[in-house]
Amino acid sequence: MSLEQHDDVDAPVSPPAEPPIDPTMPPAQPPIWQLVPPIVLAALITAGLILGSQLERMFYAIGIGGLQALLAIALVWQLRARSPIPPVAVAVMTGLGAGAVAVHWRPVSLLPIAALLAVAFIAVVVVQLFQRDRRDLVDQLAISMCAVVGAVGFASYIALSRLGAAPPAMYTAVMAAGTAIVAARAIDMAMPNPRINRQVPRGAFGIVIGVVCGTGAAGYAGVVLEGPDPTSAAIGGLLVALVAVLCDLSASYLQAARRIDGLGTAWWLVNGLLGPLLAFALAGPVIYLLSAYYMVA
């Protein structure tokens, strides 16, 4: 007779593995509280660019330098640079240099800022070539140059504030950009569908209504402010609002591209704040040209 005893003990059953998440599936609509920070930031940047231009130029440049640093960090974070420090450092230093040029260069012009941008491109290439890890070299160069262009774009507001008749036109254009972004983001909270793209959680109604609101704000500013006439202000505001809304939307496309590539998503606050920062940065040169050569003509 066998002395062995066999205990009938049920083996622990592991829970079924969750199916992998398909990154190509359309993302869910973000909660309302995540949609508020971009609206607040756009309103703050609008007020800061208008009110700050009435301060001493150096203080104005310092405030814009903070925006340049935030944009460089957020953009490099979103684009997932392999070596994030070099592109951020080059972008911030170039942005601060462009701000200093915009404050002190006489006569006021974008040409020295453009020359500084060209020098920064060369510096970006040199820095990347001396990196030990040269994997994804083309991507690193693209990320660095995008950060540099965005940082330099903010310097346009400093240069424009020094032109005698241009500040009222700048106020009009900045109001158009800020109103367009705030309106587009606010409409997204109420009417998120239909989406502009199934992979991008931005509503089509918000984009269209935002551009219309920005144009209306510029036209009204042309009536209230001395400088641009309402017609020129409305036409210039339409162009600025369109550029601002599309640049703001491009940040959402960057987020979608990163998610579809299987790289996950950046922190939700970075995703939200990058849009307004990118919009005002890339709209800066457009606002300068319209304000200096069209709206005050």
pLDDT digits (tens, 9 = 90+) for 22-77: 666 767 777 788 888 999 999 999 999 999 888 888 888 889 999 999 999 998 88
Q: What percent of the chain has pLDDT over 90?
A: 25
DSSP character for 54? Answer: T
Confidence of residue 283 (pLDDT cuts 50, 70, 90): very high
Rounded CA separation 291/163 (Å): 10
Rounded to the nearest 10°, the torsion over CA 279, 280, 286, 288 is 180
With 0-12 / 13-18 / 19 or more C-beta atoms within 10 angstroms meaning exposed / middle / buried, residue 40 is middle
The letter for the amino acid at 188 is D
pLDDT score recorded for residue 280: 94
Average pLDDT of the segment spanning 264-268: 77
Average pLDDT over residues 190-217: 88
> Rounded to the nearest 5°, which phi and psi values hold at 203?
-80, 145
State the pLDDT at residue 3.
47
**pLDDT (tens digit, 9 = 90+) per residue, 88-146?**
888 899 989 888 888 888 887 788 888 888 888 888 888 777 776 666 677 778 888 88
- Give domain limits for the chain: 32-295
What's the mean pLDDT when you consider all of the chain?
A: 83
139-198 pLDDT, tens digit per residue, is 778 888 888 998 999 998 998 888 776 778 888 999 999 999 999 999 988 888 888 878
The pLDDT of residue 295 is: 60
Q: Look up residue 170 and give its two tokens.
A: 């700048």
For 123, half-sphere exposure in the C-beta direction (CA atoms, 13 angstrom radius) is 17
Closest CA to 277 of 81, 44, 92: 44
Q: What is the pLDDT of residue 1?
A: 45
Q: Which two tokens stand for residue 280?
A: 């005002």
Rounded (to 5) percent helix, strand, coil in the chain = 70, 0, 25
The pLDDT assigned to 14 comes to 54
Determine contact, residues 175/218, Cβ cutoff 8 Å.
yes
